[in-house]
Amino acid sequence: MSLLRQLRKLVLGETWSLPLGVAVALGAAGIVRAVDGDDGWWHHAGGFILLGLVALALTGSLAGALRARGR
């Protein structure tokens, strides 16, 4: 059981906020791509949108760590 817990920590990390943030970022990017179609603006600019979403996920997890320390 402890081995499984450690494996989960190794793959998903120490927090839930970061894997959830990554899932939300990729999910949102997938939805925008599906709405925009194959030849729209997403084709050229989508990477930067994904970078922004991932940066937000990282910032969110850092804010969580900061809040946890302040408690």
* Per CB under 8 A, 28 contacts other proteins: no
- Cβ at position 51, least distance to other proteins in Å: 5
Q: How far is the CB of 26 from other proteins (least distance, A)?
A: 6
Q: Is 71 in the site for other proteins (CB under 8 A)?
A: yes
* Interface residue with other proteins, options 16, 18, 24, 35 (CB under 8 A): 18
Cα 25 to chain centroid distance, Å, stands at 5
Q: What type of residue sits at position 19?
A: P
61 near 18, Cβ under 8 Å?
A: yes
Q: State which amino acid sits at residue 54.
A: V
Of 50, 48, 52, 54, give the one whose Cα is nearest residue 21.
54
Contact flag: residue 11 with other proteins (CB under 8 A)? yes
7 binds other proteins per the rule CB under 8 A: yes
